[in-house]
A and B are shown apart, each in its own frame.
Chain A
Amino acid sequence: MLSEKMQREALTKCIVWFYDGNVRTFYSLDKTHKRAKPNQALGIRRLEKMLMETFKGQWETAIIYENKSYGNELARFKRGARV
């Protein structure tokens, strides 16, 4: 679980619907080191890696949004593939 501050400062978030009924929200880590400039693409790539490797075969749907209220949808995953 990330701290409140990091959740607020993340550029993207990922909502995952698992096969066992759980729904979880993950926030991206956008920096290569503590004082680096945040890189949104890096965060998206890391979330994708988490879906494809850490939680491989455990989720049905995952959607990546911008981390704002009414943020746009950036990527959508369905049963292990990007759509």
Chain B
Amino acid sequence: MILSEPEVREILNLIWESVYGKLQSNATEKDWLKYQDTAFNRVNMVARWLTRSPGHWIPKPHIYFHPNNERNRFKKTWQWYVKQETLKIEIRNQLLLQQVKSEWQQHEQNKGRFREKTRLQLFRIQQKRLAGYRDESLNQAYQQCLQRCLHLKNLKRKQPAYAQ
């Protein structure tokens, strides 16, 4: 698409208004840089979507970035972006839990990288690794995984019988 200078100026003004909110919020420079990154990611996401299937269509730039366009404006990609990012995190968590699970299974059979370690040491190693991601849902899933892998439920059931 070829645009002349006045058209480019108009579109940039619309982007300044609709995407950056006229730069009026009191965010720090770091926040703005972060927002800029997400904005670039959103643009790339739309570009990839367009190249994937040529049947897709987005409106012309002066409509796409217009602040009053409720129907198919650029702001709507935010929801889309959030969905994509949460999906990425979920998949990452699934892979991490799979790894943890296989490590416990191998440890039970005296195989693998951590066969020399005790159960407590292996637990500490995994805990340290997963704490690096700072994700509460990952932590909870890890607890459940531990219950399953280490048969902690069976232990609990045995305890009352032992006490009698």
Report which A residues bind B (CB closer than 8 A): 39-42, 44-45, 64, 74-75, 82-83
Instruction: Flag if A74 contacts B62 (CB, 8 Å).
Output: no
In the complex, what residue of chain B is closest to A81 when comparing beta carbons? B2
Proximity string of chain B (47-72) to chain A, C-beta cutoff 8 Å, 1 when within and 0 when not: 00000000000000010000000000
Instruction: Flag if B7 contacts A41 (CB, 8 Å).
Output: yes
23 inter-chain pairs at a CB distance below 8 angstroms, sorted by A residue, are A39-B10, A40-B6, A40-B10, A41-B6, A41-B7, A41-B9, A41-B10, A41-B11, A41-B62, A42-B10, A44-B4, A44-B6, A44-B7, A45-B7, A45-B62, A64-B4, A74-B4, A74-B5, A74-B6, A75-B2, A75-B4, A82-B2, A83-B2
Report which B residues bind A (CB closer than 8 A): 2, 4-7, 9-11, 62
A75 to B6, CA, bound (A): 11
Give the distance to chain A from B67, nearest Cβ to Cβ, in Å: 15
In the complex, what residue of chain B is closest to A76 when comparing beta carbons? B2
A75 to B9, CA, bound (A): 15
Give the distance to chain B from A79, nearest Cβ to Cβ, in Å: 15
Chain A residues contacting B7 (CB-CB under 8 Å) are 41, 44-45
A64 to B3, CA, bound (A): 12
Nearest first, the 8 closest Cβ-Cβ pairs linking A and B are A41-B10, A40-B6, A74-B4, A41-B7, A75-B4, A41-B6, A82-B2, A44-B7
